[in-house]
Structure 1
Amino acid sequence: MIFFRDSSGQVQCIADKCCHRGASLSIGRHCGDTVACPFHGIEYNRNGKAVVIPVNGHASPVPENFKVESYSVQEAHGFIWLWYGDEIESLPPLPFFEELDEMSYSEIKDPWPVHYSRCIENQLDAPHVPFVHRTTIGRGNKTVIDGPKVVFDDETLTFYIKSHKDDGKIVAMKPSQILQYKDWFSLQFRFPNIWQNLIAPKMRIFAAFVPVDEENSVVYIRYYQGIVRIPLLRELMNFSGKAFSKVVLRQDKNVVQT
């Protein structure tokens, strides 16, 4: 896919393959409201329709079959969101955690050589923490897990868990038997591909797991906080949160990519 801004500043997205000879449009030219193929200069608009074939002259009509796929996109919350399904009259609401908009954040992005579902599985897997992250967030040798208690509400999965050291007792707690769980550690996943770690009411780790192809993804990690608002101190705290998050993420990546 190729993304570009039109003359009004709106983000547009079309397939990155000229319908004529298959050249990549992303190495062509941006012409305001169109993009031009690098091979023969054929220009495509936001709907993927070819509007100019230079070899025929600008005044010549363009055949209707000269077009590529186009995609609905929307810019919000510091991301570009793409609708990959069939055309519909109105798009569904964006799947975001709206409470995060009240906080500042820092961001890293990291390419992973795995399918994006593997990235999601990893971030919803709590028992790996004391082993993969034994030098960071998994300190304390809390290898036993109560739960998880999973609550599904409005396309959001919330995972509640409680970890503790092995005291020699047999763990046989079924999710249906767990009644007191609201004060446990929790993670949230919202379909199709975003996640947050609820560290505190004003501190969250957010992730977007973005598919590239069947074997590659990009993981966007954001450290959100609403505790410190003084500009310089806020930036310092956000940088520290980002740096620590990067260390933790690389620990995950080292295992998952195998």
Structure 2
Amino acid sequence: MIWNQWYAVLPSTAIKSGKILAAKRMGLELAFFRNGKGNAACVEDKCSHRGAALSGGKVKGDCVMCPFHGLEFDNNGACRYVPSYGKSSVKDLSRYNVKRYIVREENSIIYLWYGDEDKVTDKLPFFHGFVDRSYVFSEVEDLWNSHYSRCIENQLDVVHVPIVHHNTIGRGNKTLINGPKVIFENGMLTTSANNEVDTGQKPKPADECVIKDTYLNFIFPNIWMNHISKKIKVIIYFAPVDEENTILYIRFYHRITGNGIADRAIAFAGKYANLIIERQDKRVVVTQKPKSSSLKGGEKLLTGDGPIIAYRRMREELKGLGNTGK
């Protein structure tokens, strides 16, 4: 994982008022809940007293209550009440505090800060300017037995499209790969397929290719967009469960008709159409070894793997910056 980053980890709808959600992210066992004001919060899913899962308890006001002995913890992880000490107790309860994780909610997504608290930034990764309230979206999730880096690379891979998706989005047998052109600006990677039917011509180098109207964006650490057209977008955020599992949250955005009822129906159908395509990818990606990718992993990469190479280089750079505190 890349340290000191905001990771998109859950849809906002996953955290219900008055409920505690147990979820594993970045290898961490976490308990998500909403306080009395409806704000999302997250603490370690382990009571400091005897190690019970807090997610098995309940929400009381601004706190979560342990199901074992009733200790209560607020959204900052501070222990606010120990029933066995009584309400009149003047004991310092800070020794019972649990670890909290900083979360923010925006774009109907729960973001978790994975890093040092004094390095928290205000900017949450999203495709502002590309989708707004004029778009309707519908979301579906899918668990992959694969590291999130492999899942992301698959969505930047233009070489596999005519092979894996030969009967869906890769129809036409365009197996010859020109470029592709890759741009990395303002923290965003951009690329597009320039594939052609192979009639014996030589592939064009990247500098002779262009970014087409249908193109891909990626923002570190884990959010991707496919610009299918001006009215249709697909966004995926790849929530790392642990080193071997990732949940893909797939959103189909569109503004095709401008009619709310019709557009919601189209969005609902669109997310399942994307799930069909995504499942074609899944059956291959989960077989890749090792589970996690790396810049110097010994793979014999192709010229058409330019977007993947760019992703790996930037990921390695960010990992180095995050781990050294720069």
TM-score, with structure 2 as normaliser: 0.75
Pick from 49, 62, 81: which aligns with 2:78? 49
Superposition deviation, residue 161 in structure 1: 2.5
TM-score, with structure 1 as normaliser: 0.94
Pick from 52, 56, 67: which aligns with 2:97? 67
Instruction: State, as a whole percentage, how many aligned pairs show the same letter.
Output: 45
Could you tell me whether the CA contact under 8 Å between 1:155 and 1:190 is conserved in 2?
yes
Other structure's SS at 2:95 match: coil
1:100 aligned residue: 131
Other structure's SS at 1:13 match: strand
Could you tell me whether the CA contact under 8 Å between 1:118 and 1:256 is conserved in 2?
yes
1:223 aligned residue: 252
Could you tell me whether the CA contact under 8 Å between 1:19 and 1:68 is conserved in 2?
yes
Superposed CA offset, 1:39-98 (max 9, x none): 111111111111111112122224322111112211111111111211137633111011
Residue 202 of structure 1 pairs with residue 231 of structure 2: yes
Pairwise mapping of residues 132-143 of structure 1 onto structure 2 (< 5 A)? 132-143=164-175
1:125 aligned residue: 157
Q: Distance in 1 between matches of 2:92 and 2:67?
A: 18
Higher relative contact order (CA 8 A, sep 6+): 2
Q: Distance in 2 between matches of 1:48 and 1:197?
A: 38
Q: Which structure 1 residue ranges, 5 or more long, are not aligned?
A: none
Could you tell me whether the CA contact under 8 Å between 1:109 and 1:221 is conserved in 2?
yes
Moved over 4 A (4+): none
Q: Which structure 2 residue ranges, 5 or more long, are not aligned?
A: 1-29, 288-326
Amino acid paired to 2:197: K
Residue 174 of structure 1 pairs with residue 205 of structure 2: yes
Could you tell me whether the CA contact under 8 Å between 1:52 and 1:62 is conserved in 2?
no
Pairwise mapping of residues 177-256 of structure 1 onto structure 2 (< 5 A)? 177-178=207-208, 180-183=209-212, 185-256=214-285
Superposition deviation, residue 215 in structure 1: 1.4
Could you tell me whether the CA contact under 8 Å between 1:113 and 1:216 is conserved in 2?
yes
Q: Provide the aligned length of Structure 1 versus Structure 2.
A: 255
Residue 37 of structure 1 pairs with residue 55 of structure 2: no
Superposition deviation, residue 232 in structure 1: 2.4
Amino acid paired to 1:168: G
When residues 220 and 18 of structure 1 are mapped into structure 2, their CA distance, relative to the original with a 3 A threshold, is: same
Superposition deviation, residue 174 in structure 1: 3.2
Other structure's SS at 1:17 match: coil
1:91 aligned residue: 121
Q: Distance in 1 between matches of 2:229 and 2:202?
A: 30
